[in-house]
Amino acid sequence: MSKLGDQLRAQRERKGITLGQAAADTRIREKFLKALEDGDYQSLPGAVYTKGFLRNYAEYLDLPTDDLVVLFQRERGQPDQAQVGSFVPYRPVMRRSLIFTPVVFVPVIVVTGVALFLGYLYYQFSVFAAPPRLEVLEPSGDMISPTAELFVRGVTVPDGRVTVRIFPGPDTLGDIRPAPDGRFATTVTLRPGANHLEIEVLDAAGKVFRVSRTIQYAGLAPPANPSVLAVEQPANGATFTNTFVPLTGRVDRSITGVLVNNSPVSVSADGSFQARYYLPAGPQSFRVVARNNAGVTVEVTRNVVVAYSAAVVNVFVLGGDSWLLATVDGADVPGTGRVYRDGETVVFSGREVRLKAGNAAATQVIYNGQLIASLGRQGEVVERVFTAQ
């Protein structure tokens, strides 16, 4: 049993901090923090890196860094300085006609030490110098986009932070957190002409890797006749993970109405329309129908896939005010624990979302695409727990 690991784990649990939260705050990989707490020193990198991790972790937990470093050296089996200086020279070893003396041992020890040091440097370089994984699945390469909205998704390291930039602009979407399996997704808006798309990931060790795409967009021309319907998003076959499905489009001004899956959608004066759909996991289909003054209709269909890797809880306060407190993965969400006014909305996501409402009747929830009309009666205090499926 590691006394060092016991102290680290006890202090972290005393502060109510999860290993995942500590890894995100200290930018140290979670597997290294777990190895320190378990006393699994064989799973840690070299002593120089491990001491740096230990000092940062100790300062983060408000523990005495120097004392823990000394304890780490003892548990890892490093010799005391007093023992290092007590070297007793060997007597020459006589084996028949071959004599082993310090004159023979010193060059061998030096050569061995140099070889070990070079091997250590190569190991550190191979482990820490490799760039983080980043695979952009969509768009898979340079392309011509038929719409202004471009769906971007990919896979990277789970503890990375993804930034998407698009030029000209530049427009930046920063601090995109991947799901536990490393998947991420977002949507960017293109400008007519050539667009340079840059996707970047920063891992917990501070290493950066980038992938670029060139996207051509000719621009959307106004519809030439009343029967033209342009659905800009979602893209056909797109996958939406842990989020709603946005639907946007444009029609000619003579169009009298637009239906999405037989439900009317409002059309603005410039002919644009938009809506959000909170749907359960699985394949989903949108049938968009536009009708003009003459009764002529045009139809466009979009098929998408909805997926969830976490508990996604969309909260809508309707019909009155409600006090709300949200706890995600064991930690209270900053900004909650207050009265939310009629009409406010908020979303929480994590492995476990615990929601406490002071006015259950005015608190409506959509949990992973499933509508819960209200949590209870007027003025009733209700607590519900939602977990990743």
Q: Are residues 213 and 140 in the same domain?
A: yes
Q: Convert the pLDDT of each residue in 231-259 to its tens digit.
A: 999 999 999 999 999 999 998 877 888 99
Q: Are residues 235 and 300 in the same domain?
A: yes
The type of residue at 286 is F
- Pick the last residue of a domain from 197, 217, 237: 217
Q: Are residues 291 and 272 in the same domain?
A: yes
| Local structure of 6: helix, strand or coil | helix
CATH code of the domain covering residue 69? 1.10.260.40
* 186 in a structural domain: yes
* 223 in a structural domain: no
Instruction: Write out the two tokens for 212.
Output: 């670029």
Q: Convert the pLDDT of each residue in 12-57 to its tens digit.
A: 999 899 989 999 999 999 988 988 888 888 888 888 888 888 899 8
- Pick the last residue of a domain from 66, 97, 128: 128
Per residue, the 3-state secondary structure of 87-140, as one string, reads CCCCCCEEECCEEECHHHHHHHHHHHHHHHHHHHHHHHHHHHCCCCCEEEEECC
- Pick the last residue of a domain from 128, 154, 189: 128
* 15 in a structural domain: yes
Binning pLDDT at 50, 70 and 90, where does residue 206 land? confident
Name residue, tokens 């140290």: 28
Q: Are residues 210 and 253 in the same domain?
A: no
Helix (H) / strand (E) element for 353: namely: strand 352-357
DSSP state of 344: -
- Is the pLDDT at 83 greater than 50? The verdict is no
Which structural domain range is residue 289 located in? 229-307
378: left (phi over 0), alpha (psi -120 to 50) or beta: beta
Domain count of the fold of the chain: 5
CATH code of the domain covering residue 274? 2.60.40.10
* 42 in a structural domain: yes
Q: Are residues 287 and 269 in the same domain?
A: yes
